[in-house]
Amino acid sequence: MQNLGILFILTNLVSVTAFMSGITLIADYACLISSSSSEKHEVRRLNPSVDALHFLDMDHFRTLTPCDDFDSTLDSILSHSPDTDAELVNWVDCENNKIKTLTRSMIHKYNILHSGAGILPVNGQQIYCHQRSPDKRIFPNLLDMFVGGVSQSGEESRVTASREMSEELNLSSPSSLSEKLFTTTICTSYNRCIVDCFQYDIAPSESSNIILQESEVQWGGFMDEKWINSAVDAGAADSDIIQQLRDMKINNNENEWVPDGKLVWQAWQAHHQKSNNQQRK
pLDDT digits (tens, 9 = 90+) for 158-208: 999 999 999 999 999 999 999 999 999 998 878 889 999 999 999 988 989
Q: Which runs of consecutive H residues, i.e. helices, occur in 46-189?
A: 58-64, 70-78, 104-109, 157-169
- The pLDDT-based confidence of 148 (bands split at 50, 70, 90) is very high
DSSP 193-216: EEEEEEEEE--GGGGGG----TTT
- Domain locations in the chain as residue ranges: 2-113, 115-280
User: What pLDDT, on the 0 to 100 scale, is given for residue 14?
Assistant: 34
Mean pLDDT, residues 127-143 taken together: 90
Q: 279 vs 235, which has greater pLDDT?
A: 279
User: What pLDDT, on the 0 to 100 scale, is given for residue 99?
Assistant: 86
The superfamily (CATH) of domain 115-280 is Nucleoside Triphosphate Pyrophosphohydrolase (3.90.79.10)
pTM over 0.75: yes
The pair phi, psi for residue 94, each rounded to 5°, is -65, -15
Distance CA 6, CA 3 (A): 5
**Dihedral angle at the C-alpha atoms of 197, 198, 199, 200, nearest 10 degrees?**
-130
- The pLDDT-based confidence of 19 (bands split at 50, 70, 90) is very low
Cβ atoms within 10 A of the Cβ of 179, count?
A: 8
Residue 163 contacts residue 157 (beta carbons within 8 Å) = no
